Amino acid sequence: MTDHSTPDRPAPELFTWEFASDPYPAYAWLREHAPVHRTRLPSGVEAWLVTRYADAKQALADPRLSKNPAHHDEPAHAKGKTGIPGERKAELMTHLLNIDPPDHTRLRRLVSKAFTPRRVAEFAPRVQELADDLIGRFAGTGSADLIHEFAFPLPIYAICDLLGVPREDQDDFRDWAGMMIRHGGGPRGGVARSVKKMRGYLADLIHRKRAALPPEPGPGEDLISGLIRASDHGEHLTENEAAAMAFILLFAGFETTVNLIGNGAYALLTHPGQRDRLQTSLAAGERALLETGVEELLRYDGPVEMATWRFATRPLSIGGQDIAAGDPVLVVLAAADRDPERFADPDTLDLSRRDSQHLGYGHGIHYCLGAPLARLEGQTALATLLTRFPDLRLAADPAELRWRGGLIMRGLRTLPVSFTPVP
């Protein structure tokens, strides 16, 4: 590990409880004094943290940084203990986030066909219905935990609908996903069992849908049917790959969106001036501030704190720092998006900020495939909350709120709120 601290500027401690609550001062220090910093992660693995915007953007698009964990030069003593997703044999599966071109290009093309912006736009009324329904369950009570009662169920039901998971099975998904989110997504114990159940269910669903697929696509055909159709039309997609694809859509699109809604609502509740502006603009029937606002919330405190793992396939240099082949690299999106070299007043939340080139959805060939769906869900969820509950307020001291201490994701465990009950 490199120690960049001096008596005048001691290095901040990373991955502590304080860090999980507010990592931004530590990121400011790293950007300034050790922008490409080798550190030991809680799992014991040593990795490079990249914190400046320009370096982060370059690293995200650098073909010498592979997504395939087989390139990790794992020291013998750490074998199997790293917690790097997909690294342990039992968890190995092929999906977009752990493969490189040309396989990545082929699979991404296939799923993009089934996941078009049109399909997402057609889905808007359903997302609104989901938001209204979930809010209806607690609107008369005057209080709620916005994470458990709203931010958590909304994305899981939305993705299940999009994939074509029948409604009667969706509560099983909610429970499996709840297990994954509660335990930080690591592939252990109950989490591994939930992942296994989900994958088994999806494999079976794909099998059943393939058998019953009509010759021509009907209106509003679900995504799994679209994937099967794409694979049946001359392009190669095995049933296993289709199941892994459905799984990664769930996995990548679920906790991220929970945290977009949770972190976003929290930021609005703790910035009353910004929230008033948004409420006034929504009351006037405008959408412009909502659209720039959700992008700004992603920049200011986005759900993905660090992009998923990358591994150097050969020696390279990032921001003047030499990186050896086999070294893991973590691009810290949350730090890059607060870089004063890139954003004016980066620590200020400004919902009308026009410069929305943040890295919250990543960059390059792995740029978030679900960004249009995430935007739709984030905008619908936050607008509906503020419209239904004009006096929505935080019902806890911000200092007492607990943040999940995961590596990749940033989000609240609970978000208690109160409001005047509405019928």
- When binding is defined by CB under 6 A, the residue of 23, 35, 360, 406 that contacts ligand HEM is 360
Considering only 18-26, 72-80, 256-264, 336-344, which stretch makes contact with ligand HEM by CB under 6 A? 256-264
The minimum distance between CB 316 and ligand HEM, in angstroms, equals 17
Q: Applying CB under 6 A, what is the total number of residues that bind ligand HEM?
A: 26
> Taking the CA of residue 131 as centre, how many other CA atoms within 13 Å lie in the half-sphere pointing to its CB?
22
Smallest CA-to-CA distance from 310 within 44, 43, 56 is with: 56
Q: How far apart are CA 110 and CA 165, in angstroms?
A: 20
Considering only 1-9, 78-86, 169-177, 301-309, which stretch makes contact with ligand HEM by CB under 6 A? 301-309
- When binding is defined by CB under 6 A, the residue of 28, 30, 49, 96 that contacts ligand HEM is 96
The minimum distance between CB 288 and ligand HEM, in angstroms, equals 20
Nearer to ligand HEM among residue 292 and residue 418 (C-beta): 292
- When binding is defined by CB under 6 A, the residue of 366, 407, 412, 419 that contacts ligand HEM is 366
Is the sign of the CA dihedral 58, 61, 67, 71 positive or negative?
negative
**Contact call for residue 226 and ligand HEM (CB under 6 A):** no
- Residues within window 308-327 making contact with ligand HEM, judged by CB under 6 A: 308
Q: How many CB atoms lie within 10 A of CB 14?
A: 18
Nearer to ligand HEM among residue 114 and residue 419 (C-beta): 114
**Contact call for residue 369 and ligand HEM (CB under 6 A):** yes
Q: How far apart are CA 336 and CA 385, in angstroms?
A: 29
Considering only 46-54, 146-154, 245-253, 348-356, which stretch makes contact with ligand HEM by CB under 6 A? 245-253
**Strand 65-66 to strand 143-145: parallel, antiparallel, or no bridges (unpaired)?**
unpaired
Q: What is the DSSP letter of 190?
A: H
Q: How far apart are CA 104 and CA 102, in angstroms?
A: 5
The minimum distance between CB 81 and ligand HEM, in angstroms, equals 22
Nearer to ligand HEM among residue 242 and residue 419 (C-beta): 242
Per the listing, tokens 């704190």 go with 305
Q: Could you tell me the maximum CA-CA distance found in the chain, to the nearest angstrom? A: 72
Q: Which residue has the CB atom at the shortest distance from ligand HEM?
A: 370
DSSP secondary structure letters along 271-284: -HHHHHHHHHHHHT
Nearer to ligand HEM among residue 130 and residue 419 (C-beta): 130
Q: How far apart are CA 94 and CA 203, in angstroms?
A: 14
Question: Token pair for residue 413?
Answer: 């465990």
Question: How many residues are listed for the chain in this entry?
Answer: 423
The site for ligand HEM (CB under 6 A) is made up of 60, 96-97, 108, 159, 248-249, 252-253, 256-257, 260, 302-304, 307-308, 360-362, 366, 368-370, 373-374
